[in-house]
Structure 1
Amino acid sequence: MTSGHLPPAPTDQYVPLPDARLVSTRALLTARENLTDTIEARAMMCVHGGAGFGKTIAVTSCLRALEPAEDIRRITFHARATTRAVRHELHTALELPGPPPRYASEFDHLLKSALATHPRTLVLDEAQWLQSDQLEYVRYLWDDPYTQLAVIFVGGEGCHHTLTKEPMLSSRIFIWQHFTRLTPDEVLDAIPLYHPIWADADLDDVAFADQHAAHGNFRNWARLTAHTLTALERTGRTRVDQEVLRWAFSRLGAGS
Structure 2
Amino acid sequence: MITFELYRHQARHEQDSFAATVTRIGCAKSGRLEYGHGLPDLGRAVGRRALKATLAAHPRTLVLDEAQWLSSEQLEYIRYLWDDPYTQLAVIFVGGEGCHATLRKEPMLSSRIFIWQRFTRLTTDEVLETIPLYHPIWADADPKDITYADSRAAHGNFRNWARLTAHTLSALNRTGRPRVDQEVLRWAFSRLGSGT
TM (normalized to structure 2)? 0.68
Summarize deviations over 1:106-132 as a string: whole Å, max 9, x none.
988x58985896665461523333211
Matched, 1:150 2:89: yes
Which residue of structure 2 aligns with residue 241 of structure 1?
181
Q: Identity rate of aligned residues, in percent? A: 57
1:80 aligns with 2:26: no
Cα offsets for 1:126-176 (capped at 9, x unmatched): 3333211222233345445x4445340332113322111112221121222
Tell me which residue corresponds to 2:192: 252
Could you tell me which amino acid in structure 2 is paired with residue 3 of structure 1? Answer: F
Residues 113 and 223 of structure 1: is their aligned pair in 2 closer, same or farther, counting only changes over 3 Å?
closer
1:99 aligns with 2:43: yes
Tell me the equivalent position of 2:62.
123
Specify the structure having the higher radius of gyration (Cα): 2
Instruction: Report what 2:11 is aligned to.
Output: none
Q: Which has the higher contact order (CA 8 A, sep 6+)?
A: 1
CA deviation digits over 1:21-77, x for unaligned, max 9? Answer: xxxxxxxxxxxxxxxxxxxxxxxxxxxxxxxxxxxxxxxxxxxxxxxxxxxx99563
Of residues 132, 138, 145, the one that matches 1:198 is 138
Structure 1 position 235, deviation (Å) = 4.0
For structure 1, the residue ranges without an aligned partner over 5 or more in a row are 7-72
Q: Distance in 2 between matches of 1:5 and 1:246?
A: 42
C-alpha separation in 1, matches of 2:145 and 2:42? 58
Q: 1:117 to 1:203 in 2, by over 3 A?
A: closer
- 1:1-256 → structure 2 map (5 Å cutoff): 1-5=2-6, 75=25, 77-83=27-33, 85-86=34-35, 88=36, 98-101=42-45, 114=53, 120-121=59-60, 123-126=62-65, 127-143=67-83, 146-157=85-96, 158-253=98-193
The residue type paired with residue 129 of structure 1 is W
For residue 108 of structure 2, give the secondary structure of its aligned residue in structure 1.
helix
SS at match of 1:179: coil
Q: 1:130 to 1:186 in 2, by over 3 A?
A: same
Tell me the matched-pair count. Answer: 177
TM, length-normalised to structure 1:
0.54
- Distance in 1 (CA, whole Å) between partners of 2:51 and 2:112 is 19
Note if contact 1:76-1:124 (Cα within 8 Å) is conserved in structure 2: no
2:52–2:81 contact (8 Å) kept in structure 1: no
RMSD, aligned α-carbons: 3.8
Task: Give the conservation status (yes or no) of the 8 Å contact 1:74–1:124.
Answer: no
User: Judging changes above 3 Å, is the alpha-carbon distance between structure 1 residues 204 and 235 closer, same or farther for their aligned structure 2 residues?
Assistant: same
Q: Partners of 1:211 and 1:130 in 2: how far apart?
A: 34
Structure 2, unmatched stretches of 5+, are 8-22
* Structure 2 match to 1:41: none
Instruction: Give me the whole-angstrom Cα distance separating, in 2, the residues matched to 1:174 and 1:243.
Output: 46
